[in-house]
């Protein structure tokens, strides 16, 4: 297609199909590892337990900090005292693990039978002496990644204020001294002088520690100091959040957390594209700098350096087309990055689109398409997978990024696919992880190229005919 056929703006459609995604209770898989002193208690039926067992079966050799409180027929028919049962479980968790926080993950069943988890939590907290966060990460959400959104939104209410910190000053000072142990006062002062004076900035979104360090250092180069991350590595290190603080998200599926921070804590949201790919990371940093009146330094060179380092992967996708079926709400950011790499995107399927929270990302996608001279992709909210498969047959894209349910059927029909869930668990944020995104996206293309060189593709076609 030529540039003359481009639509003037992004097209939005809504097919009102089903949400073909995992259940949001799967957020436990990465959150219990991120918040090291936590314990997650999922309250649901045996079906929820089977799902967790399958979703996290790969972690059997680790010692997990999550458990399943299974509701039996007696519980569901409201014959048993759920408070006493939860209290018994919490006391057992305290005795065995002694976490700093217990997170109740409510499921669909707790919604249906109207189990008052929020009402029970304060009383349980006072009885067992451990904070309890209640999050309803149930299957009624649009995408499985929104489980994290629900948990973080609930944790916002637990973040301390300056008044509370003053009361705990001795403990906070002890932690501060421990962090600076062995460092000279001159070194600490010199480090502080590297930052520009600006209002406190809180970043929200669960990322692996190396990525957190990477983004923190990238902002430090510009003189921006991060006042805290939500979630923190430990629950006891949750950031102080006061009215007027600035907040910025790192993931496109955290709209509920952003809304809670703005409405409940009166924070100011920095609307920026998300730091996925070198282009997105640069735009994210530039937006934060512009809000604080800082002139960014060396970002153009940094971005150019990354593009040069991933050229060997980028040339594999240049000129090819991609189709997103919709799964984890990362679709717009990934599509924008792949378009910048030289791909054409036919369609971006997405389970749910919050146009306010993703406004900067959508504008950046539009700009990227104009810069690259490619047609604007159609964005389909709540896509009907049957209709999507028909469009895939018609368009014949070089790569389809899809949920696990449709990957094998499409592969059997000669269509290259990549599981979208892999992008959820991979490290894809920041400058240095752009290569990992392309490594994942190009894997099926490289595999098929290798098969062609070996002549196996002809054998596969012959077997398909039989």
Burial class (CB in 10 A: 0-12, 13-18, 19+), 2: exposed
264's CB contacts (< 8 A; 6+ apart) are 156, 157
Tell me which of 111, 127, 142 is where a domain ends: 142
CA distance 403 to 330: 12
Sheet containing strand 201-204, strands side by side: 228-230, 201-204, 246-249, 268-269
Residues 306 and 420 in one domain: yes
List phi, psi (to 5°) of 459.
Answer: -65, -40
The reply to whether 158 falls in a domain is: no
Burial class (CB in 10 A: 0-12, 13-18, 19+), 234: middle
The torsion region of residue 341 among left (phi > 0), alpha (psi -120 to 50) and beta comes to: alpha
Check the annotation: does 14 bind a ligand: no
List phi, psi (to 5°) of 320.
Answer: -95, 170
Burial class (CB in 10 A: 0-12, 13-18, 19+), 136: buried
Give the model's pLDDT for residue 1: 42
Boundaries of domain holding 218: 201-292
Residues 318 and 435 in one domain: yes
CATH number for the domain including 89?
A: 3.40.50.1980
CA distance 322 to 343: 7
CA distance 277 to 432: 9
Domain count, the chain: 3
What angle, 0 to 180 degrees and rounded to 10, lies between the N-to-C axes of helices 146-156 and 255-264? 20
Check the annotation: does 108 bind a ligand: yes
Check the annotation: does 345 bind a ligand: no
Give the model's pLDDT for residue 18: 77
The reply to whether 179 falls in a domain is: no
The reply to whether 12 falls in a domain is: no
Residues 213 and 324 in one domain: no
Tell me which of 270, 292, 314 is where a domain ends: 292
The reply to whether 58 falls in a domain is: yes
Residues 236 and 379 in one domain: no
Report in angstroms the alpha-carbon separations of 73 from 46, 70, 358, 370: 11, 10, 42, 58
Residues 329 and 303 in one domain: yes
Handedness of CA 135, 137, 141, 143 (dihedral sign): positive
Q: What is the DSSP letter of 399?
A: E
Residues 430 and 321 in one domain: yes
Regions of the chain where pLDDT drops below 50: 1-4, 466
DSSP 231-278: S-SSGGGPPP--TT-EEEESSTT-HHHHHHHHHHS--EE-----SBHH
Residues 343 and 285 in one domain: no
The reply to whether 28 falls in a domain is: yes
Q: What is the DSSP letter of 27?
A: G
The reply to whether 193 falls in a domain is: no
The reply to whether 61 falls in a domain is: yes
Where is 367: in which H helix or E strand? helix 359-372
Report in angstroms the alpha-carbon separations of 20 from 12, 69, 105, 349, 384: 19, 26, 21, 11, 9
Sheet containing strand 321-324, strands side by side: 11-14, 378-381, 344-350, 321-324, 399-402, 417-419
Handedness of CA 251, 253, 258, 260 (dihedral sign): negative
Residues 243 and 317 in one domain: no
User: Which of these, 205, 237, 204, lies nearest to 100 by C-alpha position?
Assistant: 237
Give the model's pLDDT for residue 4: 45
Residues in the chain: 466
The reply to whether 89 falls in a domain is: yes
Where is 220: in which H helix or E strand? helix 209-221
Tokens (6 digits) for 356:
């306010």
Residues 59 and 84 in one domain: yes
Tell me which of 241, 275, 292 is where a domain ends: 292
Give the model's pLDDT for residue 138: 82
Residues 232 and 85 in one domain: no
Residues 307 and 280 in one domain: no
Residues 268 and 317 in one domain: no
């Amino acid at each position: 297609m030529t540039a003359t056929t481009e639509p003037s703006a992004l097209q939005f459609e809504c097919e009102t199909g089903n949400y073909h995604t995992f259940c949001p209770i799967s957020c436990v898989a990465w959150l219990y590892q991120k918040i090291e002193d936590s314990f997650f208690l999922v309250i649901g039926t045996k079906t929820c337990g089977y799902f967790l067992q399958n979703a996290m079966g790969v972690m059997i050799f680790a010692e997990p900090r999550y458990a399943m409180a299974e509701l039996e027929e007696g519980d569901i028919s409201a014959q048993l005292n759920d408070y006493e049962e939860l209290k018994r479980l919490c006391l057992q968790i305290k005795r065995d693990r002694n976490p700093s926080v217990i997170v109740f993950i409510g499921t669909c069943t707790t919604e249906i039978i109207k189990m008052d988890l929020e009402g029970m939590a304060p009383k349980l907290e006072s009885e067992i002496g451990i904070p309890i966060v209640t999050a309803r990460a149930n299957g009624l959400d649009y995408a499985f990644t929104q489980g994290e959104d629900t948990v973080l939104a609930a944790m916002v209410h637990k973040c301390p204020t300056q008044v509370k910190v003053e009361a705990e000053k001795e403990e906070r000072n002890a932690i501060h001294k421990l962090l600076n142990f062995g460092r000279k006062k001159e070194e600490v002062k010199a480090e502080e002088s590297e930052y520009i004076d600006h209002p406190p900035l809180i970043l929200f979104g669960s990322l692996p520690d190396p990525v957190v360090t990477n983004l923190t250092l990238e902002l430090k180069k510009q003189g921006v100091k991060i006042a805290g991350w939500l979630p923190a590595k430990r629950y006891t290190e949750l950031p102080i959040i006061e009215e007027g603080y600035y907040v910025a998200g790192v993931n496109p599926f955290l709209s509920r957390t952003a809304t809670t921070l703005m409405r409940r804590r009166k924070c100011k949201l920095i609307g920026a594209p998300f730091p996925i790919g070198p282009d997105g990371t640069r735009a994210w940093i530039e937006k934060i700098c512009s809000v604080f009146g800082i002139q960014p330094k060396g970002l153009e060179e940094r971005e150019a350096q990354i593009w040069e380092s991933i050229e060997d992967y980028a040339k594999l996708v240049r000129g090819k087309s991609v189709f997103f079926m919709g799964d984890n709400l990362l679709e717009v950011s990934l599509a924008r990055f792949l378009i910048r790499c030289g791909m054409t995107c036919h369609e971006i399927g997405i389970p749910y689109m919050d146009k306010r929270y993703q406004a900067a990302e959508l504008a950046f996608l539009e700009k990227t398409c104009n810069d690259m001279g490619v047609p604007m992709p159609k964005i389909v909210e709540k896509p009907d997978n049957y209709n999507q498969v028909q469009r895939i047959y018609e368009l014949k894209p070089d790569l389809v990024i899809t949920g696990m349910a449709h990957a094998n059927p499409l592969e059997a029909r000669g269509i290259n696919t990549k599981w979208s869930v892999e992008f959820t668990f991979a490290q894809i944020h920041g400058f240095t992880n752009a290569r990992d995104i392309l490594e994942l996206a190009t894997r099926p293309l490289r595999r098929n190229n290798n098969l062609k060189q070996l002549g196996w593709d002809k054998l596969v076609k012959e077997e398909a005919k039989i």
